[in-house]
Chains A and B, each alone.
Chain A
Amino acid sequence: MTMLTKPPEPGLSARAPRKSPKRGKPSDGFRGIGDLKIALFFIAPAMIGLILFYLVPTIRGIYLSFTEYSILGDPEWIGARNYERIAKDPLFWNALGVTSEYVVINIVLQTALALGLAILMHRVAKSTLIRGALLMPYLMANVIAALLWFWMLDYQIGVINQIIEWTGLPRVAFFGSEQWAIPTQALINTWRHMGYTALLIFAGLQAIPNSVYEAASIDGSKAVSTFWRITLPLLRPVLVLVLVVTVIGSFQVFDTVAVTTAGGPVNATRVLQFYIYQRAFNEQDFGYGSALAVILFLILAIVAFLQMKFLRGNQSDLD
């Protein structure tokens, strides 16, 4: 993030009078207003998009969470009743638990595998073809990937269960059994996303200057301790960014569930996003759905904040 905002600075400071430490002061008024107009002009498209597609829907969503609203008819203000009902709703707590299970399995595996892949890309697999191939699953639409695995892992006709049977083991109800349904979906999405995550980490690896490694090897550091003492600490800002982004994405798992188990068996895969969808779009209870969505929003905001704060994601150890 810091790298993105840095480049414009030299230009600005070159234009601003050297002696005045503050820019845009009255002495510079004429040019300041001109800049403001041009700036507004350039910011406008993004601002309009932000207001129309983010700000207004967010505010309306928060408003709707205090109403009873089926999409036909007008919202009716009911105060905090939706939130009171959510606190007592066993399906909400179930959804929270199920979603957390998904996030933990998905993130731990995905990050570990992606880190490994990134290091392999950095050190071993220099061919563009292999690096590109790692990204292949990510190029597939989520729904397609989910359905392909759904068929391959099917209890009756799935090729993987066929293979399992050949080895003499009993078939596994990957999507049908309550204990397997969430891990299965977490693994599918790990498979789909790890290449992309690896690419992000790989970019971080390339930003670590070679001189640090040279210094380390001169001091006699072995590969393993170089990894733990040099690579990982210097990679921290990138890892934090990756974690924040993937955790948010992981919490929002929906399409895989929607096209395979649709919340079942029983409530084993009724993750938060699917539960929101069910309440809002299937059961026409948009007020309750909005309240659930606001809670998910708050959870994500807190998780992201904690990650940034405690992992010091906005500082680098390179300086």
Chain B
Amino acid sequence: MKLPPFQMLLEEHGPDVHRYLAARVGPIDAEDCWQETMLSALRAYPKLRHQSNLRGWLLRIAERKALDAHRAAKRLPVPVEHVPEQPAAAAERPDPALWRAVRRLPGKQRAAVTLRFAADLDYAAIGRVIECSEAAARQNVRAGLASVRREWVR
């Protein structure tokens, strides 16, 4: 069982995972989620039994951390005195309002749209991350985009 040195995952996929999380939870929470994702991955890494799709494996962990972050945010809305200056994450730059609309989508659609357009995954890979079929992944992206478009026009 040959696994590449973890440093290689960090360098090859770390930026993708960060982009995905920035689009998924916003630029402020993305860094925390990224740290949690990579620490979880490093903990589990020596026991990993496959190495065919390490990027998908990392994105799957990232998706779980994003869900955790959403749940935590619902439980604990933290009022802040000063809004931190938002570092412009790559995926946010084209249009922050658009990504805010994406983040208002229901769970699976939100994950599917983000994986499609921020992490550039194909539908089969999206299905593996959010645990559904390729067809269901495609449907989630389509439905998600339709909602975003409606909100956009409004």
A in complex with B: no
